[in-house]
């Protein structure tokens, strides 16, 4: 477990500039429905849900397998689209955006953290972090500086040259978090980020999310584990494509 104090610096990237006052809501789903079709078979994964997450909130979306929480993750991350209803991201109606604009949102406004880390085994920690900036055409020298700074933020300043196989599971997930942070996104979407970790590494990564929240990041955590969800400040309970409860976490 990393015990050193982590400095989470840098301001989140603002939502699209020149669009008037900064919105209160980071995320807003209105009557959001998603139906998947395969031939004559239809499956309604989301059943017209309403969900609002304010800027700077830390929210856990919790439910069992097949509840619809991963569909919510894909919609919020602009990885999938709604069949019905509306999705407003930072005040913008996502339905009005084309593929180029959606790709820009995924690269600039949203930082993704996945269960499987998704690190490239042949690359060092800092090179894994710089990958997204390559697609954004950030100059090479700046990429390295920003990648190193992001790794220092998550307590891995002494592991810059280590490859994933030379790091613990918790350290690998910290590299993934650094990769999510390097573009200074407004929102962090974490999909089962502790699913492959032992209890010590889980506590380590969740402490990092606590610090990110305290630094002003909007965090949406997808999980099926109650102990993990209870680290968030609010829990949205999902089952069968519907929101059962939406409550402030008093734990």
- CB of 33 closer than 8 Å to CB of 47: yes
**Using an 8 Å Cβ cutoff, are 117 and 205 in contact?**
no
All residues at 6 or more sequence positions from 140 whose CB lies less than 8 Å from its CB, including other chains: none
CB atoms within 10 A of CB 122: 10
pLDDT winner (highest mean) among 68-72, 89-93, 179-183: 68-72
Three-state secondary-structure class, residue 49: strand
Q: How many CB atoms lie within 10 A of CB 193?
A: 28
Query: Given the structure tokens 């307590």, which residue do they identify?
Result: 155
- Whether 149 is covered by a domain: the verdict is yes
Tens of pLDDT along 49-65?
999 999 999 999 999 98
Residue pLDDT, tens place only, 77-95: 999 999 999 999 988 899 8
160 part of a folded domain: yes
Number of domain units in the chain: 1
CA distance 164 to 144: 18
Paired tokens of 210: 């606590």
Q: Higher-confidence residue: 1 or 64? A: 64
Please state, as a whole number, how many other Cβ atoms lie within 10 Å of the Cβ of residue 173: 29
Do the domain assignments include residue 193? yes
Establish if 177 belongs to a structural domain: yes
Task: Please give the mean pLDDT across all residues of the chain.
Answer: 87
59 alpha-carbon distance from chain centroid: 11
* pTM of the predicted model as reported, rounded to 2 decimal places: 0.85
192 occurs within a structural domain: yes
Residue 111: inside a domain: yes
Q: What CATH code is carried by the domain that includes residue 180?
A: 3.40.50.300
Residue 3 falls inside a structural domain: no
Share of the chain above pLDDT 90, in %: 60
DSSP label at residue 156: -
Question: 28 vs 186, which has greater pLDDT?
Answer: 28
Domain that holds residue 133: 56-70+105-248
In a domain, 240, yes or no: yes
- pLDDT of the residue at 117: 87
- Whether 234 contacts 59, CB under 8 Å: yes
């Amino acid at each position: 477990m990393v015990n050193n104090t982590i400095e989470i610096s840098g301001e989140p990237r603002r939502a699209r500039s020149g669009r008037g006052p900064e919105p209160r809501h980071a995320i807003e789903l209105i009557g959001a429905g998603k139906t998947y079709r395969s031939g004559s078979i239809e499956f309604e994964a989301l059943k017209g849900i309403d969900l609002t997450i304010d800027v700077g909130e830390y929210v856990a979306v919790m439910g069992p397998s097949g509840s619809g929480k991963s569909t919510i993750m894909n919609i919020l991350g602009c990885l999938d689209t709604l069949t019905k209803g509306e999705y407003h991201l930072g005040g913008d109606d996502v339905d009005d955006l084309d593929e180029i604009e959606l790709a820009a949102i995924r690269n600039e406004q949203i930082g993704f953290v996945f269960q499987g880390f998704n690190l490239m085994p042949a690359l060092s920690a800092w090179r894994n972090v710089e990958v997204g900036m390559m697609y954004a055409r950030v100059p090479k020298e700046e990429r390295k500086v920003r990648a190193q700074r992001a790794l220092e933020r998550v307590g891995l300043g002494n592991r810059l040259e280590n490859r994933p196989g030379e790091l613990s599971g918790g350290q690998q997930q910290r590299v993934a978090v650094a990769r999510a942070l390097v573009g200074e996104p407004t929102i962090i979407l974490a999909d089962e980020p502790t699913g492959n970790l032992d209890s010590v590494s889980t506590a380590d990564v969740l402490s990092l999310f606590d610090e990110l929240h305290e630094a002003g990041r909007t965090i949406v955590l997808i999980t099926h584990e109650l102990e993990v969800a209870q680290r968030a400040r609010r829990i949205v309970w999902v089952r069968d494509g519907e929101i059962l409860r939406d409550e402030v976490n008093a734990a």
